Amino acid sequence: MESRIERLLESYWEGKTSLNEEYELKTYFRENPSNSEGARFFAAIHDRQKITPVKSFYHPGRRLNRNRWSVAAVITLGIVVAFFSIKDTHDDDFLIEDPAEAYEITKKALMMVSSKLNEGSVYGRELNKINEVQLIIKEKKNEKDIIK
C-alpha cells in the first residue's frame, strides 16, 4: 500500500493524478497521520477546507450602494416624466377656438417652414454646381488619359 501511495504522490506532484486518485491520497493521509511532507500538506488542505471566510471578497472599485442609487434614479425619472406629461395634457393655453386665428397661426408656421426649405434649396443648388464642376474635371482628365 505504501508503494502505491508513493507512486500516487509522485504523479500528484507532477500534476498527473485523477480526482479519484487525489481523493484516495487525501483519505489515506487523513486516516493515517504521519510526519511526512505529503501528510502535512494534505492535513493543511483538510484544515483549510474547514475554515469559512469571515468576510467575503470586496472589490475596492465596486460600489455597494449602486443598486439603491439606480432604483432611486429610475423612480425620480419616472416622477419627472409623469409630472411633465400630466402638465402637458392639461394645458389648455394652446386651444384656439377661432378658425380665422387658427388659420393665421398655421399660415405663419407653414411660411416659416417654407422659408427654411428655400434656404436649404439655395445650398443644394450651390452643391450641384460643385458636383458639376467636379464631373467636368473628371471628364477632362479622362480625355487626357485617352489622348496619352
pLDDT higher for 4 or 35? Answer: 4
Amino acid code (one letter) for 146: I
pTM metric for this prediction: 0.33
76-105 residue pLDDT tens? 999 988 888 776 555 556 678 888 998 999
15-70 residue pLDDT tens? 888 988 888 887 887 777 777 777 778 777 777 777 776 666 666 665 556 677 78
Determine the pLDDT at residue 76: 92
Residues 144, 148: Cα–Cα separation, whole Å: 6
* Burial letters 3-16, b for 16+ CB under 10 A, else e: eebeebbeebeeee
Cell of 105: 397661426
Our separate counts of H helices and E strands in the chain read 5, 0
Determine the pLDDT at residue 61: 60
